[in-house]
Chains A and B, each alone.
Chain A
């Protein structure tokens, strides 16, 4: 970890002003990922702006009935918030599937969106990695890629986004509220994270001078048929090999609406709205879910150690859809 200076932001505008024009400054909130990466010599900010003093710690309904999650609310407080538990239980389930109780007490909602990949090579500075050092090459493509992506990969990077929370946010169609030098803007979650393409070093569409202020959940609740299924190498405290967030609504025995978001398979939470539309008005059967899974995974490309992922993802999709359907309330 290199030496750096540290200051505490006194307000949102102050934070934005502090970071504007300082490419090597970074915001720090929970710190659970940033400090780790600094210790590993992967990230080298020369100045940290602590935003923990900002008043972004509330969870409250907006006038139009949408729920605002402050960027600095911890993952634990979000998952255990009565309104989240009641109206967005998928989100609570996803958050509680991630990390550990201690980390969830530290990690914030904004920070969760900003998590970096857990790719072994991104972390190991003795190996090439285009995400860490653009142009150095991708060690995972011909290496140990058990945890790596199968969808939306590029020849430059096959890393996955490690978050559980973001997969649920994707299924819920959350919106990320950010504030920067140019003012406030809303970024739909689907446009927040990026695919690696030619610039794997850029994880998301947040500008350097922008600060995440909150996450807005739409009014629609989906608290009857939902499931966050996380498949991993041990029962807890492990990143997803594949995860599936499903919400669905039935009408007269057929699917009225379904959303299927996948984690552990791509550089961003993955959804295929075309396939979801295909399921509309179809009976909610294993067969239809399986066919939908095949369509979602049609373009899947594997790299050796992750050859099992399409089959696992298909089974996980079917299982999550079935469990969402059969959930007893």
Chain B
């Protein structure tokens, strides 16, 4: 058994932070060992963002922080104090689906749907980055999102359709 540090008292470690998630500010009293993913899911109770590995190896937890896609499982909530975060729940505006959401439905770009929130947030990040030119670029730049159901070809078709309309 490895050496483990002496316990740190919870109160002593607690921070008060503000996360703006989908344009709504949430003030949280939170310990530093809470990841952004767990903060979103268990503390703010926005469960659209998924935990698929908790190790940065699957992309299911992808959210947008200040417009950039990241793995929310590998950052601490306290590190994102003041950040502007978009999760899948904030992608549609006023009940109107984001074009990517509609394209995912139309192209059947998912089966079980578990990786889908991460795929869509990742694809939004991809479009924001503006680096994907070819179909192969989309494939490479969507490779940080695993899909065990194997919907990749449909995901690429959905992203390509929306990209081409931009």
A contacts B: CB pair < 8 Å: yes
CB distance from B36 to the nearest CB of A (A): 10
Report if A10 contacts B (CB, 8 A).
no
List residues 3-60 of chain A with CB under 8 A from any CB of chain B.
3-6, 24, 28, 30-32, 35-36, 38-42, 44-46, 48, 50, 52
List residues 237-271 of chain A with CB under 8 A from any CB of chain B.
237
**Chain A interface extent, by class:** 35 or more
Do residues A44 and B144 form an inter-chain contact, with CB atoms below 8 A? no
Do residues B70 and A106 form an inter-chain contact, with CB atoms below 8 A? yes
Do residues A105 and B13 form an inter-chain contact, with CB atoms below 8 A? no
Return 18 A-B CB contacts under 8 Å, by A number: A2-B4, A2-B8, A2-B33, A5-B13, A6-B15, A30-B74, A35-B75, A35-B76, A39-B55, A44-B3, A45-B5, A48-B76, A101-B144, A102-B125, A103-B56, A103-B74, A133-B2, A236-B143
A212 vs B79: C-alpha distance when bound (angstroms):
19
A4 vs B4: C-alpha distance when bound (angstroms):
11
Do residues B144 and A4 form an inter-chain contact, with CB atoms below 8 A? no
List residues 283-324 of chain A with CB under 8 A from any CB of chain B.
none
Which A positions have Cβ atoms within 8 angstroms of B? Answer: 1-6, 24, 28, 30-32, 35-36, 38-42, 44-46, 48, 50, 52, 76, 80, 99-103, 105-106, 125, 132-133, 235-237
Chain B 3-37 against A: per-residue CB contact (8 Å), 1 yes, 0 no?
Answer: 11111111011010000000000000001110100
Most buried by A among B13, B62, B143: B143
Q: Which residues of B contact A105 (CB under 8 A)?
A: 68-70, 125
Do residues A5 and B12 form an inter-chain contact, with CB atoms below 8 A? yes
Do residues B125 and A5 form an inter-chain contact, with CB atoms below 8 A? no
Known: A36-B56, A105-B68. 8 other contacts (CB 8 A): A5-B13, A32-B56, A101-B122, A101-B129, A102-B125, A103-B74, A125-B1, A125-B2
A45 vs B13: C-alpha distance when bound (angstroms):
14
Do residues B125 and A39 form an inter-chain contact, with CB atoms below 8 A? no
Of the candidates B5, B55, B59, B131, the one whose C-beta lies within 8 Å of that of A102 is: B59
Most buried by A among B2, B3, B131: B2
A99 vs B144: C-alpha distance when bound (angstroms):
8
Do residues B2 and A44 form an inter-chain contact, with CB atoms below 8 A? yes
Do residues A35 and B74 form an inter-chain contact, with CB atoms below 8 A? yes
Q: Which residues of A contact B140 (CB under 8 A)?
A: 235-236
- Which residue on chain A has the smallest CB distance to residue B31? A3
A105 vs B68: C-alpha distance when bound (angstroms):
7
**Chain B interface extent, by class:** 35 or more
Do residues B79 and A52 form an inter-chain contact, with CB atoms below 8 A? yes
Q: Which residues of A contact B62 (CB under 8 A)?
A: 102
- Which residue on chain B has the smallest CB distance to residue A24? B5
CB distance from A110 to the nearest CB of B (A): 15
Report if B141 contacts A (CB, 8 A).
yes
Do residues B32 and A5 form an inter-chain contact, with CB atoms below 8 A? yes
A236 vs B138: C-alpha distance when bound (angstroms):
12
List residues 26-56 of chain B with CB under 8 A from any CB of chain A.
31-33, 35, 54-56
Report if B116 contacts A (CB, 8 A).
no
A5 vs B33: C-alpha distance when bound (angstroms):
9
Q: Which residues of B contact A42 (CB under 8 A)?
A: 2
Chain B 50-88 against A: per-residue CB contact (8 Å), 1 yes, 0 no?
Answer: 000011100100100000111100111011000000000
- Which residue on chain B has the smallest CB distance to residue A39? B54
Do residues B74 and A80 form an inter-chain contact, with CB atoms below 8 A? no
Q: Which residues of B contact A237 (CB under 8 A)?
A: 143-144
A143 vs B92: C-alpha distance when bound (angstroms):
50
- Which residue on chain A has the smallest CB distance to residue B130? A80
Report if B155 contacts A (CB, 8 A).
no
A237 vs B56: C-alpha distance when bound (angstroms):
11
